[in-house]
Amino acid sequence: MDDNTLGFLYRRVPINPTQMKIWLGIPEFEVEMRVLLKTNHTITNEDVLESMERICDFYEAEKKAKNPLPPYVMLSGMRQSRNKLRRALEQESI
């Protein structure tokens, strides 16, 4: 991340800072969040989860197809944080 425009995600999204750092190191995720900001969209935890789901699904399919993954992709950490956010959102809906 070249500037701090997405730094608010560390405070807003209920995952730990290390997990958010992993996600902000994924170019696709960063681009999706920046696009939402540029369209004056208020980024919600649901938006973040939707992006995480889509990106995880893509890289899991790539791994299953035995395609090489970029060095910044840490699937286990990505899945852990996605699952943590999913659980947090499920708790909110109870």
pLDDT tens across 25-72, in order? 999 999 999 999 999 999 999 999 999 999 999 999 999 999 999 999
In the structure, what pLDDT confidence band is assigned to residue 22 with cuts at 50, 70 and 90?
very high
- Please indicate, yes or no, if residue 8 is contained in any of the structural domains: no
Task: Note the pLDDT of residue 62.
Answer: 98
Which residues constitute the domain of residue 23?
18-92
- Please indicate, yes or no, if residue 35 is contained in any of the structural domains: yes
- Please indicate, yes or no, if residue 7 is contained in any of the structural domains: no
Task: Note the pLDDT of residue 3.
Answer: 55
- Please indicate, yes or no, if residue 4 is contained in any of the structural domains: no
Tell me how far apart the alpha carbons of residues 63 and 38 are, in angstroms, rounded to a whole number.
Answer: 32
- Closest CA relative to residue 82, chosen from 4, 20, 24: 20
- Please indicate, yes or no, if residue 11 is contained in any of the structural domains: no
pTM of the shown model: 0.89
User: What domain count does the chain have?
Assistant: 1
- Please indicate, yes or no, if residue 1 is contained in any of the structural domains: no
- Please indicate, yes or no, if residue 2 is contained in any of the structural domains: no
Instruction: Using the predicted structure, report yes or no on whether residue 4 has a pLDDT greater than 80.
Output: no
